[in-house]
């Protein structure tokens, strides 16, 4: 029995079931799930996928939305370039392709944010194309089973079955995500354990070879958290760049403040560097009682700000500010209550 046949048989019995993007040939739903699953766990993706489908049930609806609306819904999923590219690709499909998805891996790979493996996955599941994937899960399975670290694309293409391409592709994904995991592989339950080179040679934890870890540089920035009554000042970050298109606190002083308080620093990790953020809480009072208008910025209610298109560290700080404000309000009401 061939490698592909073993995986197909295993997937029929033990593969993942019931995921909201399974059981469909709709390229929109498949593409949306594949983009979200890039570098993100299934459990994290499921609620985001379901929210996107409810709000944007088709590519035309997604294309008609603003980037800010899309990023607001994406907020918390991370790797925000994916959200921006998702929106750009939907507009390209809607306006340049008249709402019709490209139906080959080669054409799909021309869309913003769609690489070779993602394009192949969409082409396989939506259009039945015989194309090879090589996402992180597939790469780990092939590297271990065949004891190779290089030339994985030619190997992936040679292994493609003539029939059952969709189930085989799903099997590769499922096997890598469940049994052939990075840290604790379950070799005893693996359908290709007998032919696995890494298992025979005791190299399971060596393949695929991890990238050499470099000490990540540490960058420092300041956040100026301007608060006026129950509102805070946010500015939209330029796109591209880190958190491009999202709303963040200003990184420089933009208006005079009545009081300033240094808050606890925040550490946040990116792929290529670490970020240490020093927030300063600044209370603003204006003679008119209305917050001062700042170019490219907006004053937003603390409760509404948490639901805006903001990155995770901003949301966390907003939650803390809202909690502190609620506690202070409660104490004031208690003092004002009659004895």
Other Cβ atoms less than 10 A from the Cβ of 160: the count is 15
Closest CA to 159 of 192, 198, 188: 192
The three-class DSSP label of residue 258 is coil
Question: In angstroms, rounded to a whole number, what is the distance separating the alpha carbons of residues 120 and 122?
Answer: 5
Question: In angstroms, rounded to a whole number, what is the distance separating the alpha carbons of residues 201 and 206?
Answer: 10
* Two structure tokens written together for 207: 């393949």
> Is residue 149 annotated as a catalytic residue, yes or no?
no
> Which residues does 327 contact at the CB level (< 8 Å), separation at least 6?
none
Question: In angstroms, rounded to a whole number, what is the distance separating the alpha carbons of residues 321 and 314?
Answer: 10
CA–chain centroid gap for 314, Å, is 17
* Two structure tokens written together for 173: 């994904």
CA–chain centroid gap for 169, Å, is 22
> Which residues does 201 contact at the CB level (< 8 Å), separation at least 6?
147
User: Which of 34, 67, 129, 235 is the catalytic position?
Assistant: 34
- Report the sign of the C-alpha dihedral through residues 117, 119, 120, 121, in that order: positive
Question: In angstroms, rounded to a whole number, what is the distance separating the alpha carbons of residues 177 and 44?
Answer: 14
Q: What residues act catalytically?
A: 34
């Amino acid at each position: 029995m061939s490698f592909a046949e073993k995986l197909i048989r295993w997937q029929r019995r033990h593969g993942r079931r019931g995921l909201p993007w399974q059981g469909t040939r709709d390229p929109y739903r498949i593409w949306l799930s594949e983009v979200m699953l890039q570098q993100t766990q299934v459990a994290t993706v499921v609620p985001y996928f379901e929210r996107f489908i409810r709000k944007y049930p088709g590519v035309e609806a997604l294309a008609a939305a603003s980037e800010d609306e899309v990023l607001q819904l994406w907020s918390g999923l991370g790797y925000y370039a994916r959200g921006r590219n998702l929106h750009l690709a939907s507009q390209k499909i809607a306006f340049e392709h008249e709402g019709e998805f490209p139906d080959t891996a080669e054409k799909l790979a021309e869309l913003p944010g769609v690489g070779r493996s993602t394009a192949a996955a969409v082409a396989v599941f939506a259009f039945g194309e015989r194309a090879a994937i090589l996402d992180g899960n597939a790469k780990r399975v092939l590297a271990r089973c065949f004891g190779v670290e290089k030339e994985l694309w030619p190997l992936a293409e040679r292994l493609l079955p003539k029939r059952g391409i969709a189930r085989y592709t799903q099997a590769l994904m499922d096997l890598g995500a469940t049994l052939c995991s990075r840290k604790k592989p379950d070799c005893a339950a693996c359908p290709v354990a007998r032919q696995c080179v890494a298992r025979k040679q005791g190299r399971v934890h060596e393949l695929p070879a991890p990238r050499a870890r470099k000490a990540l540089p540490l960058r420092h920035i300041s956040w100026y958290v301007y608060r006026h009554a129950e509102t805070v000042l946010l500015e939209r970050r330029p796109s591209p760049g880190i958190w491009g298109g999202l709303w963040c606190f200003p990184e420089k002083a933009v208006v005079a403040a009545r009081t300033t308080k240094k808050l606890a620093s925040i550490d946040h990790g990116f792929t290529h560097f670490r970020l240490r953020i020093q927030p300063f809480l600044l209370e603003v009072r204006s003679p008119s009682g209305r917050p001062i208008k700042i170019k490219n910025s907006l004053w937003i209610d603390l409760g509404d700000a948490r639901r805006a298109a903001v990155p995770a560290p901003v949301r966390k700080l907003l939650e803390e500010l809202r909690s502190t404000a609620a506690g202070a309000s409660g104490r004031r009401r208690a003092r004002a209550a009659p004895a």
